[in-house]
Amino acid sequence: MLRNSVLTTSLWLALASLAHAAPEAAPGGDIDREFDRVQVTATRTERAVIDVANTVDVITREQLDQQLIHDLKDLVRYQPGLSVGAGSGRFSNLGDINIRGLGGNRVLIQTDGINVSDSFSFGSYLNANRNFVDLDTLKQVDIVRGPASASYGSDALGGVVAFVTKDPSDYLEAGKDAYFGLNLGFESDWDGLLGGATMALGGERWSGMVVVNHRQGQETRNQGDNDSVGPLRTRPNPQDISGTSLLSKLVYAPSANQRFKLVLDANEDYGQIDVLNGLTEASGFTSGIDAQTGKDHQTRARVSFVHEVDALDSAMADSLDWQLYRQDSESTQRTDELRSNNTRRQMQHNFDQRLYGLQANLFKSFDGDSVSHELSYGLDASWTDSHEKRDGTSTNLATGAVSNQVGQDVFPVRDFPISQTTRIGLYAQDEIQLAGGRLSLIPGVRVDYYKLDPTLDNIFAEDNPGVPVAGLEETNVSPKFGAIWRFADQWQLFANYARGFRAPPYGDVNVGFTNLQSGYTVIPNQDLKPETSNGYEAGLRYDGSAFFGGLTGYYNEYRDFIESFVLIGTPPQYPWLTFQSQNVADARIYGAELRGGVDFGAMSQALDGWSMRFAAAWSRGDNKTDDTPLNSIDPLRGTLGLAYQGQGWGSELVGNFAGRQKRPADPSYYQPAGYGTLDLLAHWQFAPGARVYAGVFNLTDKKYSEWADVNGVSADSPVLDRYTRPGRSLSVNLALNW
């Protein structure tokens, strides 16, 4: 078993590990008003959330610290309508983010405007996710709910998650030319140690920063109690996890209105796992598995050159920003199996992407007699090389003979050919102010060109003889239109229409896989159409001195969903069972979301510092083709928090609530019961530049499962406890800066 104690390195972490420390928050009792937070993702211009014609979540650095958010599951903890599954058990037990019922590559994830690598999985031993970003390097996260292709093109079918990294200016206040910060943290649910440091230096023209983080720990606990070896095990498999991230920026400002930035952003994660629940006995013609271990390695490195101009004397633009970038992402999973027939199987499965791109965004304001315009337009162009390969050997331990045939596979193989993808998008949006600013109209459109160019190499050709490989070209127009009517000083109505699309993935267009012994084959489909959507959203908002709140309803219609590996033919019409990816499904998802907060101090001076926040989300989804529920829809969820903010300290008691999943796609699926959990959060600035953040999660030690974790699991499964979330756990962070 892999159980290397993290305690042996804790002293090193305390002295030399590098991490973030956020700029100090001013003490006081003001409520954190969600509608006042500034975002740039939904409109590509700086706007308060209340001035956006659709639903956007803005999660600030202060929230990330005070809510002890370190990964994607933490990020959506108090965001009903969003969910993250626990994943496959490798790469830190993290799945992908789901927005209003859509997840995977149908949700666009970006870091500083640059797309994070795709997720990809094939078979039992290749599952490359998109958890490439260290949240401790961020100053803000913007989440756009619903189709956003009019601004961001393909893959923004379900929404956008935009990570915004820190800048030197976030640390260097007026008159301050140096900043140093240290951070240490611990999370008990995975015995995780986190640590690191930040350094920022600056002068009149030049400034720079370096943020380096390190984390390490073990498997995330659940509430299973079966510690046996074999398929009936419900406790997590033993796992060792570690990761390091680096963010550095060098900024040159020739004037107060202009900046050049050179950015290096990288992270590396390792995982080792002892797959105890994968051990089996021999049966029939299948050999048993006596031992199985895995080693995972995941890396991402991005370099970008950015130019920002705040004031530009030009008829074309008042301001602009552009960047050139390259990003390399790679996931490698190695598996070592000892079989009961005295053989050892060693497999290495790899997926990597290289991304090159150019972005330019321009902004222009102009006024008429009674109308004002804020025009934004720009270019997104990127080129992506995607490679996937599975390799392995089987060794006869009695004779020492080594073969590249492992089970039914003769390695090496590719499940799709090397693929080059070109994406070029032109977008424009106008924010029109009428009636003295009481009415805003926001039309926008984007035109995208998509080209897939595969390369037929020997590995793919030998494994898929006679399988055709073809390119693909698509052009798509995505319009949107939003409106905001401020019919009273503190009230507004908003509505939005947005078109979404997702180009056919390379892994479906040219997939190839044949298993002659089992008698089936997977063939490509060069006639796939893009997935498209029409999204409608409307809502009412109120932003008063003591209370703010909003109620939103949405209806999204999706066409031509691509389903991978659909059975299209059987013998004798076809030589084998034949599978192919096809456009098979039309779907609809609709729902309602409520959010708000109360500043009790605005009602009575005696209640100064006290506040409450709440949110709830309900949705329903249907596969209109098969007339069945969509399994990706989360049940009703809500959150309620009561907080007190004093001078230099604060605390909050937060309740998370979920209803029972009442509409699984198959009634034989497990339907976890509804639940309620309590978390207690606190923060204290006990000295200048010294803060501590602490949280006790699942305070009552509730045993529960999230629908995102058990989606598709049979109700009569003997290992349901394997999918439970952790019991009571503690998280604490110490941040120092000077």
DSSP letters for 676-738: EEEEEEEEEEEETTEEEEEEEESTT----B-HHHHTT-BTT-TTGGGGBPP-SEEEEEEEEE-
Model pLDDT, residue 29: 45
Q: Which amino acid is at 674?
A: G
Q: Which domains does the chain have, with CATH numbers?
A: 6-737 (2.40.170.20)
Model pLDDT, residue 6: 34
Contact criterion met (CB below 8 Å) for 499 and 480: yes
Burial 307-344 (b: 16+ CB within 10 A, else e): ebbeebeeeebbbbbbbebebbbbbbbbbbbbbeeebb
Split at pLDDT 50, 70, 90, the class of 14 is very low
Q: Report the alpha-carbon angle 591-559-551, nearest 5.
A: 15
Q: What is the pTM of this model?
A: 0.91
Average pLDDT, the chain: 90
- For residues 719 and 225, give the distance between their C-alpha atoms in angstroms, rounded to a whole number: 10
**Helices and strands of the chain, counted as H and E runs:** 7, 39
pLDDT single digits (tens) 325-364? 999 999 999 999 999 999 999 999 999 999 999 999 999 9
Diameter of the chain measured on Cα atoms: 89
User: Under DSSP, is residue 36 helix (H, G, I), strand (E, B) or coil?
Assistant: helix
Model pLDDT, residue 76: 94
Q: What is the mean pLDDT of residues 248-253?
A: 98
Closest CA to 643 of 687, 679, 606: 679
Q: Other C-beta atoms within 10 Å of 173: how many?
A: 11
Contact criterion met (CB below 8 Å) for 528 and 504: yes
Which of 61-70, 225-234, 538-547, 575-584 is predicted least confidently? 575-584
Model pLDDT, residue 129: 80
Q: Other C-beta atoms within 10 Å of 518: how many?
A: 10
Model pLDDT, residue 87: 62
* Radius of gyration from C-alpha coordinates of the chain: 26
Q: What is the mean pLDDT of residues 475-494?
A: 96
In angstroms, what CA-CA distances link 585 with 555, 563, 564, 581? 17, 8, 11, 12
pLDDT single digits (tens) 174-189? 778 999 999 999 999 9
Split at pLDDT 50, 70, 90, the class of 51 is confident
Q: What percent of the chain has pLDDT over 90?
A: 75
Bigger pLDDT: 35 vs 473: 473
Could you tell me how far CA 15 lies from the centroid of its own chain?
32
Model pLDDT, residue 27: 39
Could you tell me the two tokens for 492? 């507004």
Bigger pLDDT: 126 vs 57: 57
- DSSP per residue, 50-94: GGSSS-EEEEEHHHHHHTT--SHHHHTTT-TTEEE--TTSSTTT-
Which of 268-282, 464-478, 598-612, 715-729 is predicted least confidently? 464-478
Q: What is the mean pLDDT of residues 205-210?
A: 96
- For residues 370 and 365, give the distance between their C-alpha atoms in angstroms, rounded to a whole number: 14
Contact criterion met (CB below 8 Å) for 596 and 550: yes
Model pLDDT, residue 344: 97
Q: Report the alpha-carbon angle 253-257-262, nearest 5.
A: 35
